[in-house]
Structures are given as C-alpha cells and as structure tokens.
Amino acid sequence: QVQLVESGGGSVQAGGSLRLSCEASGGGTNSTICMAWFRQAPGQDRKWVASIYRDDGTTYYLDSLKGRFTIAQDNAKNTMYLQMNSLKPDDTAMYYCAAKWSRGGSCGIASYIGAWGRGTQVIVSS
C-alpha cells in the first residue's frame, strides 16, 4: 500500500511562492502510473490542480493555474512537487497529494485515485 506525506504548506502574502512536496513510500510505489495534486477550500469540493505521469513526466494543469503552478517529480526520491508562484488569496486551500495505479480512468478524477495524503494547508493573505 502506498503512503503519501505532503509538506511545504504555510502562510504567505499574495504574490508569494510556496513549494509543496509529496513523498511516497510503501509497496507499490513503482507501480504508480500518475500522481496529482488536488485542493479543497473551506466549504467547497475537492478539485484537481495538476497531474504528472511517472514514466514520461507528461504534465497536465487546471487551465486557470497554467503559468503559475508547476508540477514536477523526482522518481529516484519517490517525491512529487508543486511549485506555486504569484499566489492569490483564492489559492487558499488544503492541498492533497494523490496517486493512481489503475490503468483505467483519469488521474484528475478523484474516484480513480488509489491513495491520498493527509494534506498540507496553504493560506494566502491579501
């Protein structure tokens, strides 16, 4: 079973940057097809942010975040990252790391995710 642990959240002012990390461990890590970041703001549903495919590093982003957020991975360290720049108060949310190893479905749809981290809080003040 894959375990995911996020880190790097915190409080920043608008315009600032944060880098989130997600370390994967446990059996099955090398079987992961893709990993993703989701976020959930208070009172809202959990929403997909970005995905990265383990084998070739292909990335996908929520359109509204392109240019500000960058997803990356270091397979040797079993770690995924989310670099967030030019942060806005609307980016305030709990950010969750997710992993998918099933071959069907999308990495951007929560119902296809096989494992979740516990989340790391990001607060952006104006």
**Tokens 């097809």 map to which residue?**
33
Averaged confidence pLDDT in the chain = 95
pLDDT > 90: what percent of the chain?
A: 87
pLDDT the model gives residue 97: 98
Tell me which of 31-35, 48-52, 66-70, 88-92 is least confident: 31-35
Percent of the chain with pLDDT over 70: 100
Q: Show Cβ contacts of residue 112 under 8 Å, excluding neighbours closer than 6 positions.
A: 100, 102, 104, 105, 106
The shares of helix, strand and coil residues in the chain, as percent rounded to the nearest 5, are 10, 50, 40
Contact 98, 105 (CB under 8 A): no
